[in-house]
Amino acid sequence: MVVRFGDKYKQWNAAFDAGYCAALGKPYVALHDEDIVHPLKEVDAGAQGWCKTTGQVVETLRYVLQA
């Protein structure tokens, strides 16, 4: 799952989705700007990866699926 955080997205909904994935042991990738790294440090710690752009998400998913 890709969990996207940002101004146009409900942060608490995204955080809930990330927590739900973590509770179920399901992998996820966090997508957000660098300026909110600190508030999301626990979310990022549980993620397969943290990305700043959708292109990085594609690269990360490609890497994870091919590894």
CB 36 within 8 A of CB 45: no
pTM value is: 0.85
What pLDDT digit, counting tens, does each position of 4-33 carry?
A: 998 776 688 999 999 999 999 999 999 999
Residue 33 to residue 53: CA distance in whole angstroms? 8
Residue 13 to residue 63: CA distance in whole angstroms? 27
51 falls in which pLDDT band (50, 70, 90)? very high
Residue 18 to residue 49: CA distance in whole angstroms? 12
Residue 60 to residue 39: CA distance in whole angstroms? 22
Residue 62 to residue 55: CA distance in whole angstroms? 11
